[in-house]
Chain A
Amino acid sequence: MCLSQHFSTYLVQGLANGFLYALIALGYTLVYGVLQLINFAHSEVFMAGGFGGVLVANHVTHGQPHGFMSVLIVVAGLLGGGIVGAATAFVLERVAYRPLRRRNAPKLAYLISAIGASFFLQTMAGKEFGRNGYDIAPAYTNGTVFTIFGAQVQTIDLVFAGAGIAMMLLLDRIVAKTRLGQGIRAVAQDADTAGLMGVNIDRVIAVTFILGGLLGGAAGYLFGTLNGVSYTMGTVPGIKAFTAAVLGGIGNIRGAVLGGLLLGVVESLAISCINTDWTDVISFIVLVLVLLVRPTGLLGERLGRSA
């Protein structure tokens, strides 16, 4: 009964959330593809992007922007968030991962180092910028753009979807067509052989982190326009996005997108049916079940093969 009523409304809500999950999930998936490593600190890259977005967007926004100005501000915010996110991811790789890779450390060491980086970044953001939230000045007037099957689609939903789709297409093309993408796929398939073939593995890994950071940081800005930015904002979206990445098949770019959208919709529908407090339990149960029943995810997990 709960599903039939206003189904489309919840679907739209879920898709808007899903695009965010997907953007963050891509960061997990890219890094996992080349390093077979869960970048635990990716949630803080997302958070850093949020702060970058605040900085840029609040600097360029004056009054209530309209029309073309709004588009410019959104693009500036995405870039600001993306660049700060990319920089954070780059430094993260340099400081927390590369020394371990040099030493060929056991996998446990990477995970622990990543958790440490996550704690450090989160706490320092709170210490330096204050522990209350920041708000991003609205770049556009939110309102209902059109109604489809009874669901009101708002400007913000379209911005999420538009920005999400544009960035994902760009990433997909980069990985599929460019020389850089070729390098990423080669390292993902077999790092040692790729190294022997003359691929600069360090560079490919750094670029992978930067790409993931760009998307995660841009997602941080988008998220911030809706919910504000605070130092703890990364934790839950990070876990959700990881769930999404696993759901779609970690290491698989299209899988991450599918997983993100699916998780967003499942959560939204769950809220419509049961008490809100159980939805997080549901998404964790989805995670555990997927890992147990089909650990390779819905679309399989190799970046090298399916991208």
Chain B
Amino acid sequence: MRTGRSLRLVAPLALAAIAATACGSSSSGGSGNGGGSGSGSEPTFTIAYQGPLSGGNQQLGLNMSYAVKLAINQANAGTTFGTLPFKLAFAQEDDQGSSTAAPAAVAKILQISNLIAVVGPAFSGATAASEPAYSKADVATVSPSATDPTLATSGWHNFFRVVADDDAQGPADAQYMAKTAGLKKVYVIDDASTYGAGLAKAFVGAASGDGLTVVKHDTAPGTTQCQAGSGNVQQYGPLAQKVKQSGADSVFYAGYYCDFALLAKQLRSAGFTGQLVSDDGSNDPHYVSSAGASVANGTLLSCACQETITSPGFKAFAPQFKSLAGFASGTYSAEAYDATNAIIDAMKSLGANPTKAGVISALHSPGFSYQGISKTVKFAANGNYAGSAVYMYKVENGTIKELGLIGASS
């Protein structure tokens, strides 16, 4: 009785919901089949991109997604691989870079009936939550940007990445600081994110071996100012004093550019004159613009990515990217482009009817090598990029300049 009145309100709602779900499922299945057989003799395969396409990390996601799209367009036009015996289609799904939103995005991608492989997931947490389903479905995933070392050791046969992981980046940074920059005492700060904490651990582990003393390893949670965390931005003032008084000649920050800029400003304002060093999360023009050039100048930023690339391939890529996307290519654009082309290259080797499992084994085959615009893409047995590709950058006159490849090969 007490529910009678609202039953009338809710019942249509529920009916509509069921109807919508049914319609949604039937239409998506239908379009997938149509795509597969639509173009007559040539079969069509979809390469999907999974990454953050909304929210605070949207730009990073767009940097990658347009590069994937460009690679697919070029392959279809026959400019990169010649005439292919199949057509390619592009799809993308937003996982917000979070492990909780990822499973639904994965399920959505796996609904694509002619899916062949995935570029992504972009973030480490999302990758960890996505791989169980992808590996069961035998879908190769080539991430342009997930750097958590544990991803390669979790036993996923379908996992690949075209970037060096944090275990390569942290030690390379430590070595560069000690050997090349001649620094002695470093104050390590991480931002309490999965990424920052892991990188800082790898850095600290390698530092003493290189003769670099870690004065202190502190954790300053990424602040709500930067959407990355839950921390209080007011912490940076006192923290900067603490760094100054520790007698360190350098600071290594493991985290993202937004918080690093706030910290850098406070450090300079507190009178700290030592060397600032950070990672690929901070390797972003926004770091310079929000810290101000006077603070940012001289900062060393490492990255497992190559941005201002001098290869002829990149010189051709940059204007094409810009005309497709409407903005200049940025962090991880080149890596996403290479990841997509590596997949297409693997498909090409399989002839007219590549399969999902076939792509995985083609990428795994020891002879696989693709000359990309950022690096020669080759994979180790666990899916990691084979070789080291950590680059050092320096802020000079308000712009980020590449210094070159650093660190020994892994």
Contact = CB atoms under 8 A, between A and B. Distances in A.
Contact of B219 (A13, A272, A277): A277
Residue with the greatest number of chain A CB neighbours at <10 A, chosen from B58, B225, B233, B292: B225
Interface residues of A, number: 37
A302 interface: no
Contacts of B218: 275-277
Q: Give the interface SS of chain B, mostly helix, strand, loop or mixed.
A: helix
A276 B220 CA distance: 5
B219 A233 contact: no
Contact of B232 (A16, A154, A236, A275): A236
Contacts of A279: 232, 235
B231 A236 contact: yes
A6 B238 CA distance: 11
A4 interface: no
Contacts, number: 99
A70 interface: no
Of the candidates B225, B234, B242, the one having the most CB atoms from chain A within 10 angstroms of its own CB is B234
A14 B271 CA distance: 17
B84 interface: no
Contacts of A280: 221, 230-232
A271 B245 CA distance: 13
Contact of B225 (A228, A267, A272, A276): A228
Contacts of A232: 224-227
B238 A275 contact: no
Contacts of B221: 276-277, 280
Given A14-B238, A132-B258, A228-B225, A142 B269 contact: yes
B192 interface: yes
Task: With a 10 A CB-CB cut-off, give which of A13, A17, A227 has the most chain B CB atoms.
Answer: A227
Contacts of A237: 232-234
B234 A17 contact: yes
Contacts of B292: 135
A227 B233 contact: yes
A61 interface: no
B228 to A, nearest CB: 9
Contacts of A132: 56, 59, 258, 286
A142 B48 CA distance: 50
Nearest to B290: A135
Given A227-B225, A228-B290, A276-B218, A131 B56 contact: yes
Contacts of B56: 131-132
Contacts of B227: 131, 230, 232
Contact of A233 (B58, B224, B238, B245): B224
Interface of B: 55-56, 58-59, 189, 192, 218-221, 223-227, 230-239, 241-242, 245, 258, 262, 269, 271, 286, 289-290, 292
Interface of A: 5-6, 9-10, 13-14, 16-17, 20, 131-133, 135, 142, 152, 154, 156, 227-228, 230, 232-233, 235-237, 240, 264, 267-268, 271-272, 275-277, 279-280, 283
26 contacts: A6-B241, A6-B245, A9-B241, A13-B237, A14-B238, A131-B56, A132-B258, A132-B286, A133-B290, A154-B269, A156-B269, A227-B262, A230-B225, A230-B227, A232-B225, A233-B224, A236-B223, A237-B234, A267-B235, A267-B238, A272-B238, A272-B242, A276-B189, A277-B218, A277-B219, A277-B231
